[in-house]
Amino acid sequence: MIDLLATAAAAAGVFAATNIDDIVVLTVFFVAARGTGRPRPWQIVAGQYAGIGALVGVAVVVAAGLLVVPDPWTGLLGLLPIALGVRALLARDGDGDEPPAAVGTLLGVAGVTVANGADNIAVYVPVFRSLDPAAGLVWLLVFAALVAVWCAVAAALGGHPRVVALVGRAGHWLVPTVFIALGAIILTTSGVLPRLLP
Please write the tens of the pLDDT for every residue from 96-113.
555 555 677 888 899 888
Q: Per-residue confidence at 69, pLDDT binned at 50, 70, 90? A: low
* Cα gap 44→48, rounded to integer Å: 6
Query: Domain ranges in the chain?
Result: 4-187
Worst-scoring range by mean pLDDT, 54-68, 93-107, 176-190?
A: 93-107
Give the pLDDT confidence score for residue 143 in this predicted structure.
96
* Cα gap 54→51, rounded to integer Å: 5
User: Over 60: is that where the pLDDT of 95 sits?
Assistant: no
Strand blocks (E) in the chain: none
Q: What is the DSSP letter of 79?
A: H
Q: Which residues contact 46 (CB under 8 A, 6 or more apart)?
A: 106, 109, 110
Q: Which residues contact 75 (CB under 8 A, 6 or more apart)?
A: 118, 119, 186, 187, 189, 190, 191, 192, 193
DSSP string covering 51-74? HHHHHHHHHHHHHTTS----TTGG
119 SS3 class? coil
Confidence (pTM): 0.75
Q: Is 11 left (phi over 0), alpha (psi -120 to 50) or beta?
A: alpha
* Cα gap 53→141, rounded to integer Å: 11
Worst-scoring range by mean pLDDT, 126-130, 165-169, 186-190?
A: 165-169
Q: Per-residue confidence at 67, pLDDT binned at 50, 70, 90? A: low
pLDDT tens digits for range 117-152: 877 887 888 888 888 888 989 999 999 999 999 999
